[in-house]
Structure formats: structure tokens, C-alpha cells
Structure 1
Amino acid sequence: MRTSIATVCLSGTLDQKLVAAHEAGFDGVEIFEPDLVASPESPEAIRARAEQLGLSLDLYQPFRDFEGVGPELLAQNLRRAAAKFALMNRLGIETLLLCSNVATARSGDEQLAAAQLRQLGDVAERFGVRVAYEALAWGRFVDSFEAAARIVRLADHPRIGLCLDSFHILSKGHNPEAIETISADKIFFVQMADAPLLSMDVLSWSRHHRLFPGEGGFDLGTFMGHLVRTGYDGPISLEIFNDTFRQADPLATAVDARRSLRWLEHETAASLGAAAGGGAARMCTAGLPAVEPPADINYVELRTGELHELRRLLGQLGFRSHGGHRTKPVELWSQGGVRIVLGAPDSEQMRPTVAGIGLSVSDPATALRRARDLFAPDVPREEGTGEEPLVGVRAPDGSEVFFGAAGASTPAWVSEFGAPEHGDPQMVERIDHVNLAQPWQHFDAAVLFFRSVLDLRTEASIEVAAPVGLVRSQVLHSDNGILRIALNLVPSGASADAILPQHLAFATSDALALARAARDRGFRPLDIPANYYDDIEARYQLEPALLDELRELNVMYDRDETGEFLHFYTHPIGTVFLEVVERRGGYAGYGALNAPVRLAAQYQHRHAVRRGALT
């Protein structure tokens, strides 16, 4: 599959965008006209720079408001087009993107539009270029790809074809199956974009909320299956208008973009494999190495400057210390099937507090190969004599994911620490989920990373009210439910007050008993206001004895049609806190209705500490 990216997707100067596309491994780029106009380099110099970087210049865009106009404006438009065609000759670009008219069209007569495109084709013929006509979702008269295809057929000119854009098609709810009725030689270019499933005007949706494939809710694998069956084998390009990408590092964005197309290629191969017959398919699409869901969470690594406080907290929850590693400056704590590796922050790496997740998988080598195929960078790791080899990759936010072999009840690397201390009966059983707060520039990239690299499934995203703004949350999970990752988006422009701690949730069979045992060891849970318990009493009609116990122990409660959920929280320790959860019956949620109360309680606690009211 030949890959391309529009320069509008990336921040920086035109040269910085070209370099980023090259370093991320793209085959070509689309030149967005404002990037060229703002560049101090001549078209010839830009062409030479692209050739030096090994990039083809695949498309010049956009040309607007051409068809459906009166004779005088048509003449002006043809002169304007001739100037752009001459510029394309200087750049060495063969295809122009023509958007359907949104501003100046006086008529929706398709015969008139076709006749005018035929005249445009005659001008394009003189310059040896092509015109790819795209139906904008907000076009005045032409707003569907099927209408654009009819006009192109009526124009019947070898220099006039179509540009298909997944956003313009799927955002309007059009059925992409009709793509298969279009002749491949009339599909001149294809642009791909994902998006969250929002209810808003399509222009604003397009201008501010497009995403790379795999980061939103569109079924792009099926879309691509229809396209490939036409016989199209030209570039698959990304055209993403997104406020975040325009502010982020261009290379990081370009790598994320390239990952999205590799994931899309995999989804396309799966779509083609699931459908009967391949039609006239000529595009080569390769799937990713198949990986099994993780057998368990091997460990979670926390990096914090508050090691003493975190040690005390883990001890109160019943964890046992194994002491330090024999060669590395980290220590191990465990309880049940949960292992926590603690260490001080690494200032060079600037990793988040939840610095690493170790997964037990059936085939670590295959898991690593899939991650590398998706452009995830390896994590270098020094191994001492006799130490268990672990292989891992780095996520967009700097955290790490390591793969170890499944099978043993206790991983071999545990012996590299000391024996655990003796302690009370163990009540924590496993890690229920990991919550990773994400900076604004990494959230969408993190969704794609975990979805593609670990083959996780996405759940519907939600927004939770917090004292510092709305917090967007996206949960991903493995098919077997062993791995659950919740990604929270830190509000943009966040002050110190808006920093969301990350957290780990531990599963138990008896949250009330564990909360009581922890209290006996000196544990002080996050304080939940009395108003909350009045509210759940009204909502759920709980037994008075249960309600009293929840209130006494600061345990929160939720219920759905399948079961119940009990959970309590620790106070934040630096930028991390812990949660204990008990799932009864088939409850599979996370207590979303309780999240605003928890966020407010943490906010109030943090401010009380700053005022000196708490220690």
C-alpha cells in the first residue's frame, strides 16, 4: 500500500513537514497550498528537496469553487486553474484536488457541472496534469461521492476523475459499498480520516475533530475493502484537520500517522479476507502478526519521588516487600497476583508515574514484531548475568510496555529480588485496570498505540465533570478482559491544579473487609462527602446496614442490570493514587457516575494539603 500524508496534518514549516514525513517512512506527501505560499523556497527548490528525501509530491490542494457558475466567473476560474497547473508543473505534481463548490455555484445542474469540468480537463490536458474532483460534505449542490461520480462520468474526460475522502462519505452516513460501482481508472486519489462519533455540524466536525485511522469511530477497514475491490492501487493519503496535531511535534505526529496507516492496512486485509472474493483487487495489503490476549499483567512499574509514602500505603493495603533488585535501583512489592516495581523518577526519560506495564504473553517475540511493524520504538534494557530477558516498546507518552513469557505462576525475574516479608492473609487478587492520564498532545496517539500494538478493543468514550474542567475518558480492553486500560485526557492548557494523577485499581473479593483491615493498619481513605451517601440511598434503596458500612469506610457504590460495584480510593501520593474494587455478578463498568465525586474529593484534598490543613 502506497502511503502519503497532507502537509496540513503536521505543524512547522514546509521543510520540517517534509523531513518529518520522510523520517516517519511515508512514500509521498500532498502539498497544502497555504504551506507553499508561506514557504521562502521556490517550487523548484521544494521539488528538489522532496526528491532528496525520497518523497513523491502526490497532490496539490485545494482548488475551490469552480463548477456550477455563470460564464464570466467560469472564464476567471479557468484562468486561475491554468496558473495552478503551471505551478504544479514546476513542483512536479500531476494531480490537483478540486473541491465541490460551496460558495459561488448558482446551479445544481449536473450536466452544467460536467460541461464545465470538461473544459477544465481540456486546460489540464495542455499541462499534462489531472483533476481529482471531491464532494465536500457541505458542498452547496454536490455533497455526496455518488453525485460527484455521476458528474465525472458525464464529463467523460481522461483528465477528470474523483478524489474519495472517507470523512466526507462516512460523516454524512453514505454507504461506502457504492464505491465498488466506480471504475478504478476514475479514482485519481484517496484521502483517509477517522473521527469521533459526534453530533454537530459537519463543517466544524471536519475542521477541528478529524483523527488518524484507528483513533476514532469510523469503520475504515470496511471502507477500504470496498475501495480495494475496485482495483484502485494509488496512494492512500491522510488529510487530517485537527487542532492538537497542528500544535504537536511534527515527527511524533508523522510517526503516529504512519502507524495509523499500517493499522489500516491490517484492517483492510482482514476486511478483504472476510468478504467473498477479492474482486479486481490490485493493491497489496498485509496483515499484522497475530497476537493472543495477555495471560495476565506481569507487573506495573511506578516511578515517584514519594517512595516512602508509597511504601507505607502499599503496606497498609497488605502488600509485602521483596526488597531491592540485585543490580537495578528498583524494589518489588507483591500481593496475590499483583506485583508492583517501585523506583525513583528517571529525569533523563521524563516518564510518567505509571512508567511501565509488563504483560505475560504466549509469544513475546511475535508481540514485539507486531509492535515494531507499527513503528513502536524498542526500549533498550540492560540485563545482568542470569536475569530474565524482557523485550519492550515505548508508548507515545514515554511509558513502556514489556512482554514476558506466560506459563509460570511466578515469573522468573521475581527471584532477582529478595523473598517477600511475612504478612496478613492476602486479599488483593489481581490488577483490575490501569488508568493512564495523558497530556493533550498524546491522548489520541495513545488510543491508537494500545488499540493497534496490543490489539485492544475500544469502548465508548465518556466525559466526566471535574473541578478543573471536563475530563475525557477512553477505555480499551483485551478480548479476555485481563487487560483494561483507561486513558484520561488532561484538560488542555492545564494548570498545576488540573494535573490528573494516574492510578492502579486492584481487584478483591471483599472490598469492605479489605478497607477495614487497611484501616486497622493506619490507612486513611479518600474522604467521600456525606451528600454522596444520601444520593445513593435515594438512588438504590440500599439496606441500611450496608449503607452505614459504606459511609463508615468511605467505600463508593454502583449498580447496573448485571451486578454491583464497590470501590474505594487512596489519597494521591504525588501523581499517583490507588483504588480497590470489588465486582459482584457481571458488573463490567468502572463506576462512572462516581468519578465526578472522586475528582472533586481529590481536588479538595490537594488544596487542603497546600493550605496546611492536612498533612
Structure 2
Amino acid sequence: MRTSIATVCLSGTLEEKLRAAARAGFDGVEIFEQDLVVSPDSPEAIAQLARELDIGLDLYQPFRDFEGVDEDQFEKNLKRAESKFGLMARLGIDTMLLCSNVGTATISDDGIVVEQLRRLGDLAERYEVNIAYEALAWGRFVSEYDHAWDLVKAADHVRIGTCLDSFHILSRDTDLDRIAEIPGDKIFFLQLADAPALTMDVLSWSRHHRVFPGEGSWDLSDFLTRVAATGYAGPVSLEVFNDSFRQGDTNRTAVDGLRSLRWLEASIADRSASEARGPEGSDSTARLDLQPLPEVEEPRGINYVELSTDDLGVLTRQMHQLGFQFIGFHRSKPHVQLWLRGKARIIVTEVTDAANTTSAPVSGTFLRGIGFEVLDSEAAMDRAALLHAIEVPRDEAHDEEVLRGVFAPDGSEVFFHQLDRSRPAWIREFGHDHDEQVSHIDHVNLAQPSNHYDEAVLFYTSLLALHAQSSQDVPSPSGLVRSQVMSSSDGSVRMPLNVSPQPHAEAGAGRRSIGSAVEAYPEHVAVACEDIFDAAATALSRGLDFLPVPQNYYEDLDSRFDLDPEFLQRLQEHHVLYDRDARGEFLHFYTSTIGSVFFEMIERRGDYLGFGAPDAPVRLAAQHRRNAQWSS
């Protein structure tokens, strides 16, 4: 499948955008007119740069406000078009995007529009240019793709075809069945964009909130399958208007875009050949060359969580207070320890000057990485590489387990561990495993920079086959915190992704290990246990600094659930919070935060599947007060 990206998706100059697209691995780009207009380089120089980068120039866009006008204005529009055709010849681009008229159309007459398209086609023939006519969702008289196709079909000109843009079609909730009527060779270009489900005017939605495929709410797999079935064989391009993308790192956004296309391509690559047949009467024999990715199943659990710290004593004391047992130091890495509480495995890496192999300062306590249990670790790593994830460099002795992983968008590390029903083999590198408690990691809560939140959702969806649940907003003293859970179907892996209202450092490979000391928003590891009161009593006896819970919370709890007074008293004495739904109960307590990490101990009763969402504002407010005390 030929991949392309509109330069409007990316930040930077036109030259920087071309280099980023080529570096990411795109086959071509759409030149957005404004990018060329503001460039100091001539069209010939841009064409030469594209040749040097071995990247095609697939489309020149947009050409606006052309059809549906009176004859005097139409003649002026033809001259304007001819000027652009000459410019395209200098660039070496043979396809122009014609948007349905928004601002100057005065004639709502399909017959006149058809004749004007035909005359434009005659002019385009002289320059060997193809015109891809697109219905803008807010077009004055043409706003639906099927209407645009009817006009193109009636024009019946070899140089006039249509452009299908997923945003303009799906944002209007248009019936997609008529896509099957369009011969693939009359679709001159295909543009893809996803979008979150929002209730707002379509123009603002389009200009500010488009995202890459897999990062929004639409079923683009179905959309692309329908287009592929027409016999379309041209570029599959991204056209995404997004404020964050145009302010972010150019290279990173380009990689995220290509990852979204490769994931989308793979999601339909295994469809039957019968679904890819063109419509009856189509003489097109070309097809999209859809390439699959190595198949991976959902992870079956969390093998371990790794924390890095420059405050080893404080962190390990807190883990001891929670009932974790120290297993030993790594036999070849003396700054690395293993702590267990049943199947909840925490690797603690002490950050010291001797252990620091980077040139940047390392400080604080932060969540460094997660190991996932997968059925085929090699396939998972191969898939990650094809989705342009960056591999984590790792030193290993000759007799140690070979572990491979990649950097997540937030800079944390994701490792793939071959599923082993017994204790993982790598534990032997720390000594003997003797913890027999019934406990495991229930979920890991990760903080995400707001400008890369959608990228993280796509990352975990495409690499690990996790599912994004409905997002919700949680109130905090600093504003609303957006939270979205990524999970496996059976719930063995749960990862709430949170976007805090506070600023974050720019994410990137290795940011956590070489970045600032404390994240603006804390992250945590939730450990499941059999008896929350026993765990809390142990923690109390060992002097744990619990996150304080106000008396007002327990009074409100009593009013909401009408709890037994003795049970309510027990909750309060043990600093335990409580939630209940029709399926079961959820009991949990929080520790104080060390650096940017804290722990949560939980007990699920019955079939409770949530995360105690009603209690989240209590935690956020308590953490806010603690932070204010420490900073004053």
C-alpha cells in the first residue's frame, strides 16, 4: 500500500516536513499550498529535494471556490487553475485536489457544475493534470461524497475524478453503501483522518480535532475496506488538521502517522479476496497491496513493573511496609533489585552516578517500564519494529535471559516476555524465589503528556492489541483529569492512561530515565491482595505513610451506601476507601507519593471490574495538599 501524508499534518518548514516524512518511511506527501507559498525555495528546488529524499509528491492541494459561479467568475477561476497547473508541472505533481465550493458559489445547478467540471478537465488535459473533486462537509451546495461522485460521473471526463476523505464523509454520518458504485480508477485520491466523538460545528471539528487512524472513534477499517473493494490502487494518505500535531516534534508526529497507517493496513489485509473485487462493470484490475503484520494476541498479564529511584531507602522501606519481600540483587547488575509480593514483581533500579550510562542527569523516582506476558515474544517484537517503535538497548551477560522491548510514547519501556506458567526464568538472575503470598499486579496507572495522549492509545492498541475503553473526566484541584483505560478482553492487563491538567515535559524515547526528577502527574502500581484489612494492618504496624483520607469522605460514604457502622469504622481505622456496584465491591488504600510514584493496595470482591472512580477525586485532592505542603 502506497502511504502518503499531507504536509499540513506536521510542524516545521516544508523542507523539514519532507525530511520527516521520508525519514519515517512514507512513500509520498501531499503539498499543502501554504507550505509552498511561505517557502524560500523554488518549486524546482522542492522537487529536487524530494528526489534526493526518494519521496514522491502525490498531490497539490487545495484548490478552492471554483464551481457553481457565473461565467465571468468562472473564466477567472480557469485562469487561476491554469496558473496552478503550471506550478504543478514545475513540482512534478500530476494530481490536484479540488474542494467543493464553500465561499463563492451562487448557482445551485448540477448541470452547470457538471459543465464547469468538464471545461476544467479540458484545460487539465493540456497540462496532463488529474483533478480529484472532493465534497467538503460544509460545502455550499455540494457537501456529500455521493453528490460529488454523481457530478464527476456526469462530467464523464478522463481528467476528472473524485477524492474520498474519511473526515468529510464520516463526520456527516453519510451512508457508505454508494462507495461500492465508484470504479476504483475514478477515485483519484484517498485521504484518511480519524476524530474523537464531539458535538460541535463540523468546520471547527475538522480544523482542530482530527487525529490519525486508530486514535479517534471511527471505524476506518470498514471505510478502507469499502474503498479497497472498488479496486482503488492509489496512495492512502493522511490529512489531519490538529493543533497539537502542528506544535509537536515533526519527526515524532510523522512516525506516529505512519504507524497508524500500517496498523490500519494490517487490520484489513487478511480480508478475503472476494471483498476486494471491484464493482460490476469496473475494468480496474489494480488493487491496494495490503501487507499484514505479524499477528499478536492480547498480553496475558503483567510480568513485572520496573521503578527507577535515587532514593532507594525510602522506596524499599515503603515496599517492605506493603508486604513486599526482598529477593536479591541482580547477579551482574548490583544496582538492580527484585521485590516480590506473590506474583506482583517489582524491579527496583537504583540511579547512581556509576549506574548512569547517559550524559543527562538522572534523578527522582519514576516508573521505568512494564514487562508484559505474551504468547509469542518474537512476533510481538517483530510487529513492534514494523510499527516503527524504537528498541530499548539492553546489556546482557552470556548466561542471562534475552529480553527485548521498545520505548512507549511517554518514554517508558515495554518488554515482551514469553508466557511461562511457572516462575519466569529471569528471576533466577536475582537468586531464589520464596514468596508465597497470593497477590498480583492488578493494574498500572500511567500519566501521559496531553499532546501525545492519542499516540499512546494507538501505541498500545497496535502493538499489544489492547482495547481502549470509554474515557472519563475526573475532577481534581488543578482541573479535569482525562482518563482512559487500555485493557485486554479478560482484564488480565489493565492500564488507565491519565492526562493531567498540569504541564509535562516533552515525551520521547528514554525521557523517564534521563528526564526531570518528578512527573507533573503521579503514576502508580495497584497490587491486588486477598485481605485489604490484613494488608493495611501490616502496613500500619510497619509505619506506612498512608495517603490521608478526610472524615468528610467517610460521612459521605455512609450516606451513599448505608454501611454497617462497625464496617465503616474499620474502613476509617485502616485508611481504606470503598466503592460498590451491582457486580461487587472494591476496597483500596493509597500510599504517599515518592518522586512520581505511589502504590495502591486493592481487594476486589465479587465481579467488580472498575477502579474506584468515585474515590479518585479524594486521592487527587489529598495529593494536591501534600504537594502544596512540600513546596511551601
CA shift for structure 1 position 408: 4.4
Q: Does the CA-based 8 Å contact 2:344-2:440 persist in structure 1?
A: yes
Aligned partner of 2:277 in structure 1 is: 279
Question: In the alignment, is the contact (CA less than 8 A) between 1:440 and 1:492 conserved in 2?
Answer: no
Partner of 1:53: 53
2:333 equivalent to 1:333: no
Of 352, 368, 386 in structure 2, the residue corresponding to residue 373 of structure 1 is 386
Query: Deviation of residue 553 (structure 1)?
Result: 2.1
Other structure's SS at 1:376 match: coil
Matches within 5 A, 1:155-194: 155-194=155-194
Q: 2:566 & 2:109 partners in 1: Cα distance?
A: 74
Task: After superposition, give the CA deviation of every residue in 1:287-326 in whole Å (9 maximum; x if it has no partner).
Answer: 2212233233211111122222111110000001123212
Aligned-residue offset at 1:79:
1.3
Q: Could you tell me how far 1:27 is from its partner in structure 2?
A: 0.3
Residues 124, 130 of structure 2: 8 Å contact kept? yes
Q: Aligned-pair distance for 1:170?
A: 1.0
Q: Partner amino acid for 1:388?
A: E
User: Is 1:514 matched with 2:550?
Assistant: no
Deviations 1:214-263 (A, max 9, x none): 11111011111100000001000001111111111111111111111100
Amino acid at match of 2:312: L
Q: Are the equivalent residues in 2 in contact too, given 1:298–1:339 (CA < 8 A)?
A: yes
- Of the three residues 396, 401, 406, the one matched with 1:383 is 396
What is the TM-score normalised by the length of structure 1?
0.95
598-607 or 350-359, which moves further after superposition?
A: 350-359
Q: Matched residue pairs, number?
A: 606
RMSD: 2.0
- Structure 1 residue 318 and structure 2 residue 329: aligned? no
Cα distance change of structure 1 residues 12 and 561 upon mapping to structure 2, 3 Å threshold:
same
Task: Measure, in 1, the Cα distance between the counterparts of 2:557 and 2:24.
Answer: 51
> Map of 1:196-211 to 2, 5 A cutoff?
196-211=196-211
Judge conservation of contact 2:331–2:430 (CA < 8 Å) in 1: yes
Q: Which digits, 9 at most, give the CA deviation of each residue in 1:169-208, with x for residues without a partner?
A: 1111112232111111210000011111112211111111
Q: TM-score under structure 2 normalisation?
A: 0.92
% identical aligned pairs: 54
Does 2:297 match 1:292? Answer: yes
After alignment, is 448-457 or 133-142 more displaced?
133-142
Residues 342-381 of structure 1: matches in 2 within 5 Å?
Answer: 342-345=348-351, 348=359, 353-381=366-394
Distance 1:283 1:582 in 2: 50
Aligned to 2:474: 464
Partner of 2:147: 147
Say which is worse superposed, 106-115 or 150-159, in terms of deviation: 106-115
2:420 maps to 1:411: no
595-604 vs 537-546, which deviates more?
537-546
How far residue 433 of structure 1 moved from its aligned partner, in angstroms, is: 0.8
Q: Which residue of 2 aligns with 1:237?
A: 237
Distance in 2, matches of 1:12 and 1:6, equals 13
Does the aligned pair in 2 maintain the 1:121–1:157 contact within 8 Å? yes
Which one of 427, 437, 440 corresponds to residue 426 of structure 1? 437
> Would the aligned equivalents of 1:465 and 1:471 in 2 still touch at CA under 8 Å?
yes
Measure, in 2, the Cα distance between the counterparts of 1:227 and 1:103.
29
* Residue aligning to 2:513: none
- Select between 50-59 and 342-351 the one with higher mean Cα deviation: 342-351
Is the 8 Å Cα contact of residues 299 and 341 (structure 1) preserved in structure 2? yes
SS in structure 2 at match of 1:290: coil
1:293–1:480 contact (8 Å) kept in structure 2: no
Aligned pair partner of 1:399 in 412, 416, 423: 412
* Distance in 2 of aligned mates of 1:102 and 1:479: 45
Equivalent position to 1:505, from 503, 519, 526: 526
User: Which amino acid is the alignment partner of residue 502 of structure 1?
Assistant: E
Q: Greater CA deviation, 165-174 or 285-294?
A: 285-294
C-alpha displacement of 1:134: 0.9
Structure 1 CA distance, aligned partners of 2:530 and 2:79? 75
Partner secondary structure for residue 631 of structure 2: helix
C-alpha separation between the residues in 2 aligned to 1:386 and 1:498?
Answer: 36
Gaps of 5+ in 2: 279-285, 506-515
Distance in structure 2 (CA, Å) of the matches to 1:576 and 1:258: 33
Cα-to-partner distance string for 1:60-113 (whole Å, 9 max, x where unaligned): 111111111222221221111111111111101111111111111113222222
